[in-house]
C-alpha cells in the first residue's frame, strides 16, 4: 500500500493578533451578595478564574484583559497570579461601555475575543473555534450562540432568512425584556462570547445608545450598527449549550457547580480513577488523581489536592490541598489539610491532619488522632486518641494510645523531638521542648518534662500502692453502720 503523502497546503501569512477581553465589572445584583459576582465560586474556584484558565490556552496572559469595576481591588487580588492585565470600568454602564473603556488596550490588536466573567464553563477549544471561524469568514463580528433547554433571561439571536432558509448572518439581537409576541418563542440565545475585528468594532462602538430597558450601552447593539455599515456579522452555534450557560442567580451557581463537578468526575473516571456515586462527591477543578485509586461516596477533594495511584479514599473524608502518595488508605471520616501523606501510609478512621503534617512512608495514624506541623517518620504509628503538635518523630516509633505533646506553654509553641525506634507508652504527656533519644522507652502514663537519653527507660508516674484486704474491710465496716 502506498504511503499517504502529506499535503502541505499551508500558506505562510503573518498571523492575525488576538486579544481577549473578559467582561467582569458587573455587580451581579441578582446574586444578592456583597462579594463581586465573578469571585463567587464553582468547582472551588472563582468564576473569573475558570474563564481565565480557558483563555490562557488560546492567547498568552499578556494579551488578556479583564474589565473590572465593582470591588475591583478584590477581583485583581484574587486573579493577580494569573499574569493577566486589568482595566478599570469605574462606572458600569453596560457591556458595550465596558468594551469602549478598554479601547486603548485593545485597538492595537487585529481582533478581540470577548468573553463573559459570568459564563465559566466555556472551553478553550470553543474559544478557538470562534476565532478560527471568525478569521476564515472575514467577519467583523462573530457571536457564539446556543439553544439551551430554557432560553429565558438571555438575549435572543435572530438570523437573516434568505428564501425561507436560515443563514449564518445575524439580523438582530433582542434582550429578554424587549422580546415581544412571537419573538418570545425564539430558542437561539446569545452566549455573550464574541470575536470582533478591532477596526470596525472601534469605528462604530461610539454610536451605541442607551435607549433600552436598562438605560445601558448594550454590546449586542453593535451587531445592527455593523450590519448597517455593510460589515459581516455572523452567528456560530456552540456544539454543547451547557458550555455557555451564564450565572445570574444562586440557583444557576449551584447548577453549574454540580455540572462542573460531574464533568470533572467524568474526566477522572475516563483517566482511570474509580469514583463510586460520583454525584455525592465534591472534587475541585484542579484536583489530580492517579490510576486505580478508588474514591468512595461522599468524599470531598478540595483545592490543589494530588492523590497518587492505587489509593482508597473512604467515605466522608475531606482532603484540602494535600499531597497523597501511592497506595495510601484513608479510612472514613478523616479531615486532612495542607499536609503530605507518603506512600503506603494508612490514616483514620477519624483522623485530623492539620496544616504542616507529613506522614511518612507506611506510617499509621489512627482513630481520633490529631497532628499539626508534625513529621511522623517511615513506619511509625500513632493509632489511637493522640495529639501530636510541632513534633519531629523519627522512623519506627510507636506512639501509644492517648499520648499528648504539650506543645504550647501559653506563649510559645515548643518542639517535641522523638528519635528513631522510640516506644512511648500509652497515656503519656511529653512537655515540650523535649527530646526523647533513639530507642528509648517511656513507661505508660508518664509525664515527661526532661530529655530522655537514647535507649533509656523513663518512668514519671506515681508508684502503685496495694493494700491487701482493704476493700473487704471497708465493706464490712459500712454494713455495720447501716444497722
Ligand atoms: C448579556 C447579553 C445577553 C446574553 C447574556 C449571556 C448584553 C446587553 N446582553 O446579558 O444578550 O444572552 O449576556 O450570558 O450584553 N459587565 C461589565 N460591565 C458592565 C456591565 C456588565 O463588565 O457595565 C459584565 C458583567 O460583569 C458580566 C457580563 O458583562 O460578566 C455580562 O453582563 P450581564 O449584566 O450579566 O449581562 P446579561 O444580562 O447576562
Ligand atoms: Ca450574565
The answer to whether residue 481 is domain-embedded is no
Which CATH number does the domain housing residue 223 bear? 3.90.550.10
Which CATH number does the domain housing residue 335 bear? 2.160.10.10
C-alpha 38 – ligand 1 centre gap (Å):
12
Candidate of 67, 178, 246, 252 to mutate for ligand 1, largest count of ligand atoms within 8 Å of Cβ: 246
Contact 341, 347 (CB under 8 A): yes
Provide the pLDDT confidence category of residue 483 given band limits of 50, 70 and 90.
confident
Q: Residues 183, 267: one domain?
A: no
The answer to whether residue 2 is domain-embedded is no
The answer to whether residue 163 is domain-embedded is yes
Q: Residues 62, 137: one domain?
A: yes
**Among 157, 136, 152, which residue's Cα sits nearest to residue 224?**
157
pLDDT at 12 exceeding the cut of 80: no
pLDDT at 34 exceeding the cut of 80: yes
Predicted pLDDT at 310: 98
Q: Domain total for the chain?
A: 2
Q: Residues 326, 410: one domain?
A: yes
* Domain end position, chosen among 190, 225, 244: 244
Nearest CA to ligand 1 atom 16: 26
Q: Residues 45, 150: one domain?
A: yes
Q: Which ligand is nearest to the CA of 191?
A: 1
The answer to whether residue 473 is domain-embedded is no
The predicted-structure confidence for 310-333, as pLDDT tens digits, reads as follows 999 999 999 999 999 999 999 999
Mean of the per-residue pLDDT values for the chain?
A: 96
Ligand 1 and 115: CB distance under 6 A: no
Q: State which ligand 1 atom lies nearest to the alpha carbon of 244.
A: 14
For the residues 5-26, what does the mean pLDDT come to?
79
Q: What count of residues does the chain have?
A: 483
Provide DSSP, 235-255: EEE-S-GGGG----SHHHHHH
pLDDT at 8 exceeding the cut of 70: no
Q: Which ligand is nearest to the CA of 94?
A: 1
C-alpha 248 – ligand 2 centre gap (Å):
5
* Domain end position, chosen among 244, 263, 293: 244
pLDDT at 193 exceeding the cut of 80: yes
Report the C-alpha gap between 114 and 246 in whole angstroms. 14
Predicted pLDDT at 27: 86
Q: State which ligand 1 atom lies nearest to the alpha carbon of 68.
A: 22
For the residues 398-406, what does the mean pLDDT come to?
98
The predicted-structure confidence for 215-253, as pLDDT tens digits, reads as follows 999 999 999 999 999 999 999 999 999 999 999 999 999
Q: State which ligand 1 atom lies nearest to the alpha carbon of 155.
A: 11
The answer to whether residue 471 is domain-embedded is no
C-alpha 98 – ligand 2 centre gap (Å):
14
Q: State which ligand 1 atom lies nearest to the alpha carbon of 92.
A: 23
Q: Residues 139, 277: one domain?
A: no
Ligand 1 and 101: CB distance under 6 A: no
Quote the pTM value: 0.87
Burial of 341 (C-beta count, 10 Å sphere; 0-12/13-18/19+)? buried
C-alpha 119 – ligand 1 centre gap (Å):
10
Ligand 1 and 72: CB distance under 6 A: no
* Domain end position, chosen among 195, 226, 244: 244
The answer to whether residue 452 is domain-embedded is yes
Nearest CA to ligand 1 atom 1: 192
Coil, helix or strand at residue 345 = coil
Predicted pLDDT at 4: 53
Q: Residues 292, 422: one domain?
A: yes
Ligand 1 and 95: CB distance under 6 A: yes
Predicted pLDDT at 409: 93
Residues 6+ apart with CB under 8 A from 130: 113, 142, 144, 193, 194, 195, 236
For the residues 186-199, what does the mean pLDDT come to?
97
Ligand 1 and 246: CB distance under 6 A: yes
The answer to whether residue 9 is domain-embedded is no
Ligand 1 and 437: CB distance under 6 A: no
Q: Residues 146, 41: one domain?
A: yes
Ligand 1 and 89: CB distance under 6 A: yes
C-alpha 230 – ligand 2 centre gap (Å):
29
Q: State which ligand 1 atom lies nearest to the alpha carbon of 25.
A: 22
Candidate of 192, 220, 249 to mutate for ligand 1, largest count of ligand atoms within 8 Å of Cβ: 192
The answer to whether residue 7 is domain-embedded is no
Q: Percentage of residues in the chain with pLDDT exceeding 90?
A: 95
Q: Residues 193, 275: one domain?
A: no
Ligand 1 and 432: CB distance under 6 A: no
Catalytic residues: 384
pLDDT at 481 exceeding the cut of 70: yes
Predicted pLDDT at 28: 86
Predicted pLDDT at 158: 97
The predicted-structure confidence for 461-472, as pLDDT tens digits, reads as follows 999 999 999 999
Ligand 1 and 145: CB distance under 6 A: no
Instruction: Please state at what angle helix 47-55 crosses helix 124-136, rounded to 10 degrees.
Output: 50
Provide the pLDDT confidence category of residue 482 given band limits of 50, 70 and 90.
confident
Q: What is the dihedral of CA 45, 46, 47, 49, to 10 degrees?
A: -80
Q: Which residue range forms the structural domain that includes residue 177? A: 18-244
Q: State which ligand 1 atom lies nearest to the alpha carbon of 23.
A: 22
The H or E element spanning position 304 is none
- Which grid cell is 208? 451605541
Provide the pLDDT confidence category of residue 15 given band limits of 50, 70 and 90.
confident
Q: Residues 293, 232: one domain?
A: no
Q: Residues 50, 138: one domain?
A: yes
Residues 6+ apart with CB under 8 A from 182: none
Report the C-alpha gap between 292 and 100 in whole angstroms. 52
Q: Residues 193, 298: one domain?
A: no
Q: Residues 302, 434: one domain?
A: yes
The predicted-structure confidence for 89-127, as pLDDT tens digits, reads as follows 999 999 999 999 999 999 999 999 999 999 999 999 999
Amino acid at each position: 500500500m502506498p504511503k499517504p503523502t502529506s499535503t502541505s497546503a499551508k500558506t505562510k501569512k503573518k498571523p492575525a493578533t488576538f486579544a481577549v477581553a473578559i467582561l467582569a465589572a458587573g455587580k451581579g445584583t441578582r446574586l444578592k451578595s456583597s462579594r463581586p459576582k465573578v469571585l463567587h465560586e464553582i468547582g472551588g474556584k472563582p468564576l473569573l478564574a475558570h474563564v481565565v484558565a480557558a483563555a490562557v490556552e488560546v492567547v498568552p496572559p499578556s494579551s488578556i484583559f479583564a474589565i473590572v469595576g465593582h470591588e475591583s481591588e478584590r477581583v485583581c487580588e484574587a486573579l493577580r497570579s494569573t499574569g493577566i492585565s486589568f482595566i478599570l470600568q469605574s462606572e458600569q454602564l453596560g457591556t458595550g461601555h465596558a468594551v469602549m473603556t478598554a479601547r486603548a488596550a485593545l485597538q492595537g490588536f487585529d481582533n478581540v475575543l470577548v468573553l463573559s466573567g459570568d459564563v465559566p464553563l466555556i472551553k478553550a477549544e470553543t474559544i478557538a473555534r470562534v476565532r478560527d471561524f471568525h478569521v476564515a469568514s472575514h467577519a467583523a463580528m462573530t457571536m457564539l450562540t446556543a439553544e439551551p433547554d430554557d432560553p429565558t433571561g438571555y438575549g435572543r439571536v435572530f438570523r437573516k432568512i434568505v428564501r425561507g432558509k436560515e443563514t449564518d448572518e445575524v439580523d438582530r439581537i433582542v434582550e429578554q425584556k424587549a422580546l415581544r409576541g412571537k419573538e418570545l418563542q425564539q430558542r437561539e440565545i446569545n452566549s455573550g462570547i464574541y470575536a470582533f475585528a478591532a477596526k470596525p468594532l472601534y469605528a462604530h462602538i461610539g454610536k451605541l445608545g442607551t435607549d433600552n430597558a436598562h438605560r445601558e450601552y448594550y454590546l449586542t447593539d453593535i451587531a445592527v450598527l455593523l450590519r448597517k455599515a455593510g460589515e459581516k456579522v455572523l452567528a456560530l452555534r456552540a456544539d454543547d449549550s451547557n458550555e455557555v450557560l451564564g450565572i445570574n442567580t444562586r440557583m444557576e451557581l449551584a447548577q453549574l457547580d454540580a455540572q462542573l463537578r460531574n464533568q470533572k468526575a467524568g474526566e477522572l473516571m475516563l483517566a482511570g480513577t474509580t469514583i463510586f456515586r460520583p454525584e455525592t462527591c465534591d472534587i475541585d477543578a484542579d484536583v489530580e488523581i492517579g490510576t486505580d485509586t478508588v474514591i468512595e461516596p461522599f468524599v470531598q477533594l478540595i483545592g490543589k489536592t494530588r492523590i497518587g495511584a492505587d489509593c482508597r479514599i473512604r467515605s466522608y473524608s475531606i482532603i484540602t490541598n494535600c499531597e497523597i502518595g501511592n497506595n495510601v488508605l484513608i479510612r472514613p471520616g478523616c479531615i486532612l489539610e495542607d499536609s503530605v501523606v507518603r506512600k503506603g501510609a494508612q490514616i483514620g478512621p477519624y483522623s485530623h491532619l492539620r496544616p504542616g503534617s507529613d506522614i511518612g512512608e507506611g506510617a499509621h495514624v489512627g482513630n481520633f488522632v490529631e497532628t499539626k506541623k508534625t513529621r511522623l517518620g517511615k513506619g511509625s504509628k500513632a493509632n489511637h486518641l493522640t495529639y501530636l503538635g510541632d513534633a519531629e518523630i523519627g522512623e519506627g516509633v510507636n506512639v501509644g494510645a492517648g499520648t499528648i505533646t504539650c506543645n504550647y506553654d501559653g506563649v510559645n509553641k515548643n518542639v517535641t523531638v522523638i528519635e528513631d525506634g522510640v516506644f512511648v507508652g500509652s497515656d503519656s504527656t511529653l512537655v515540650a521542648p523535649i527530646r526523647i533519644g533513639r530507642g528509648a522507652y517511656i513507661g505508660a502514663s508518664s509525664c515527661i518534662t526532661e530529655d530522655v537519653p537514647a535507649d533509656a527507660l523513663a518512668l514519671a508516674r506515681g508508684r502503685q500502692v496495694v493494700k491487701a484486704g482493704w476493700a473487704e474491710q471497708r465493706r464490712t465496716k459500712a454494713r455495720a453502720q447501716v444497722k
